[in-house]
C-alpha cells in the first residue's frame, strides 16, 4: 500500500483525485474510486452479479456513461458532463435527439429556490434521461432547437462492495461503514470515506483491540442491502455495534449520533453515558423517515445495533445534493476533527464489556498479585492508588455476567474510561473473563 499520511495536505490531494470521478451505484467510476482508496487501506472487493435477487430488490445493471452534452442551435453549451458530472441525470439512458424548448423542459432539472445551484438528480430504477442546470440559466433559455446527446449503456456486471477488517481479541464485531456513489459531492459523498480511512489507520495503531472492526464502503441503499445479503446472518450473531458515517464536514461543531432503532445497543448506551462525562455530542432517536444505510440495518428482519453519525446532515445544510456541496463548504480540517472525535468514542467503547469474575467465591487475593497495597500509609499518591483499587473492587464484585462496565462506572460515579487501567490489570491477571 502507498504510505498514508494524516494531514490536511494529504486529505486535500486525495479529495481532489476522487471528486471528479463519475460515480454511481455501479460501474467503472465506483471501482475506480475503490481503487484509489485501496492504495491506503487493504480493501477487498466482493461483487454481486447484476440480476441477483437481494431481498425485495435486484442488483441493477451497471451504468456506463462516456459523454453527455446539451447544446442550443448555435452550438452554445447548456450542460456538459465533462464540465461537472452532475449536469447529467445519473443513470440516464442514451439519447441523441434534437427537440424544441417546450419538449426539452420535461428533461431539465433546476432549483428555483436555489437559482445558482445545480441539483444532483438520479434515476436508478426507471429509465429516463435528463440534464441538471442552474435555474437562473434555465430562465434565460430561448425558444428554438436543442440537441441532447448522452452516450450511455446498461451492462450486465456487478454490484461491488469494498471491505476489510482489523481483528481483535474477540470475534464480536463493530461495523464502520460509509457510502461511495455520488459524483462531485463533497460533504455528502467524500467526507464519509475519508473519515473512514482515517479511522481505519487510527484503530490499526492501537496496541490491543478488544473487538474486531469491520470497515465497509458501498453504494448507498442497494449497497447496504447487498452487505446484508452477504453478511446479515453473521451480523445477527456477532455484531455488537455499528455506525454509518456520512456528512462529516461543514459548519457543525459537534457530531450528531442517530441511535439504533431499539436504542439498547452497547454503543447507544455508551453515547448517553459519555454525555455525562464531558463528551460533547448530540444524540437523536432513530427514524426511518430520513437518513442513510442505517435504515436497512435497522429494518424489522435485522434490527441490528447500527446508528448513524454526521457533523452536518442531521442539523441540515442547504448545499445538500447540489453543486454547492463542494470542498469550500465541507472543509478539510473538520474531517480531521471528526476522526479525532470518533477515535475517542471507540477508545471508550473498548472499555465496554460484560465480564465474569473468574474467582467469584469471596474476594481474590489481590495482594499476592501486586494489586493491593501492603503498607497503610496515606499520601496523595496513595489516594490515587486507592481510587484504582476501588475500581478493581467494583469490577470484581459486579462482574457476574449480568452487569456491564457502564453499569459499574455509573454505580461508582465515574466514566467508563476511568476503569481502563483496572480492567487491563485484572485481565492481565486472568481475574476477568469477557462474556461472549
Q: Furthest-apart CA pair in the chain: how many Å?
A: 96
Please give the residue range of the domain that contains residue 85: 62-155
Structural domain contains residue 248: yes
pLDDT in tens, 206-228: 999 999 999 999 999 999 999 99
217 and 134 in a common domain: no
* Count of the separate structural domains present in the chain: 3
Structural domain contains residue 1: no
322 and 186 in a common domain: yes
Structural domain contains residue 107: yes
Structural domain contains residue 55: yes
35 and 146 in a common domain: no
pLDDT at residue 381 tops 70: no
424 and 361 in a common domain: yes
Mean pLDDT, residues 274-284: 94
How confident is residue 238, by pLDDT bands cut at 50, 70 and 90? very high
408 and 330 in a common domain: no
Predicted pLDDT at 126: 96
129 and 147 in a common domain: yes
Stated pTM of the model: 0.95
Predicted pLDDT at 154: 98
326 and 285 in a common domain: yes
pLDDT at residue 384 tops 80: no
Q: Which of 306, 325, 349 is the C-terminal boundary of a domain? A: 349
pLDDT at residue 166 tops 80: yes
pLDDT at residue 382 tops 80: no
284 and 211 in a common domain: yes
Q: Which of 106, 135, 155 is the C-terminal boundary of a domain? A: 155
Structural domain contains residue 2: no
Taking all residues of the chain, what is their mean pLDDT, rounded to a whole number?
A: 95
359 and 345 in a common domain: no
pLDDT at residue 43 tops 60: yes
Q: Which residue has the higher pLDDT, 380 or 98?
A: 98
197 and 139 in a common domain: no
pLDDT in tens, 341-379: 999 999 999 999 999 999 999 999 999 999 987 665 555
117 and 265 in a common domain: no
Structural domain contains residue 3: no
Which CATH number do you get for residue 85?
3.50.30.90
Structural domain contains residue 165: yes
81 and 51 in a common domain: no
Which CATH number do you get for residue 308?
3.40.630.10
Predicted pLDDT at 377: 52
Q: Which of 303, 320, 349 is the C-terminal boundary of a domain? A: 349
Amino acid at each position: 500500500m502507498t504510505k498514508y499520511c494524516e494531514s490536511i495536505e494529504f486529505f486535500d490531494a486525495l479529495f481532489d483525485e476522487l471528486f471528479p470521478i463519475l460515480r454511481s451505484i455501479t460501474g467503472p467510476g465506483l471501482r475506480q474510486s475503490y481503487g484509489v482508496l485501496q492504495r491506503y487501506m487493504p480493501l477487498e472487493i466482493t461483487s454481486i452479479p447484476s440480476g441477483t435477487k437481494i431481498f425485495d430488490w435486484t442488483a441493477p445493471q451497471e451504468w456506463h456513461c462516456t459523454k453527455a452534452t446539451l447544446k442550443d442551435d448555435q452550438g452554445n453549451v447548456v450542460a456538459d458532463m465533462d464540465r461537472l458530472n452532475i449536469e447529467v441525470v445519473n443513470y440516464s439512458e442514451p439519447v441523441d435527439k434534437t427537440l424544441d424548448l417546450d419538449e426539452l423542459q420535461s428533461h431539465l432539472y433546476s432549483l428555483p429556490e436555489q437559482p445558482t445551484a445545480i441539483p444532483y438528480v438520479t434515476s436508478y430504477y426507471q429509465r429516463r434521461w435528463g440534464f441538471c442546470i442552474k435555474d437562473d440559466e434555465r430562465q434565460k433559455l430561448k425558444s428554438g432547437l436543442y440537441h441532447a446527446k448522452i452516450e450511455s449503456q446498461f451492462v450486465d456486471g456487478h454490484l461491488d462492495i469494498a471491505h476489510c477488517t482489523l481483528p481483535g481479541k474477540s470475534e464480536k464485531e463493530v461495523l464502520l461503514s460509509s457510502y461511495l456513489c455520488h459524483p462531485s459531492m463533497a460533504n455528502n459523498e467524500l467526507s464519509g470515506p475519508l473519515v473512514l480511512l482515517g479511522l481505519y489507520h487510527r484503530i490499526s495503531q492501537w496496541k490491543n483491540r478488544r473487538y474486531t472492526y469491520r470497515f465497509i464502503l458501498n453504494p448507498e441503499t442497494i449497497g447496504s442491502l447487498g452487505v446484508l445479503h452477504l453478511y446479515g446472518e453473521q451480523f445477527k450473531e456477532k455484531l455488537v455495534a455499528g455506525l454509518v458515517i456520512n456528512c462529516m464536514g461543514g459548519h457543525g461543531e459537534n457530531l450528531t449520533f442517530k441511535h439504533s432503532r431499539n436504542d439498547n445497543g452497547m454503543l447507544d448506551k455508551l453515547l448517553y453515558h459519555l454525555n455525562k462525562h464531558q463528551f460533547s455530542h448530540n444524540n437523536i432517536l432513530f427514524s426511518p423517515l430520513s437518513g442513510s444505510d442505517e435504515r436497512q440495518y435497522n429494518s424489522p428482519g435485522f434490527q441490528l445495533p447500527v446508528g448513524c453519525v454526521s457533523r452536518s446532515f442531521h442539523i441540515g445544510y442547504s448545499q445538500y445534493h447540489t453543486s454547492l456541496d463542494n470542498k469550500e463548504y465541507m472543509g478539510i480540517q473538520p474531517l480531521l476533527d471528526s476522526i479525532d472525535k470518533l477515535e475517542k468514542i471507540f477508545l471508550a467503547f473498548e472499555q465496554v464489556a460484560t465480564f465474569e469474575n473468574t474467582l467469584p467465591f469471596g474476594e481474590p487475593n489481590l495482594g499476592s498479585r501486586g494489586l493491593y497495597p501492603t503498607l497503610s500509609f496515606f499520601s496523595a499518591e496513595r489516594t490515587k492508588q486507592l481510587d484504582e483499587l476501588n475500581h478493581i473492587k467494583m469490577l470484581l464484585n459486579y462482574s457476574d455476567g449480568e452487569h456491564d462496565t457502564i453499569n459499574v462506572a455509573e454505580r461508582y460515579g465515574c466514566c467508563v474510561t476511568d476503569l481502563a487501567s483496572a480492567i487491563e490489570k485484572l485481565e492481565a491477571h486472568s481475574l476477568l473473563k469477557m462474556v461472549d
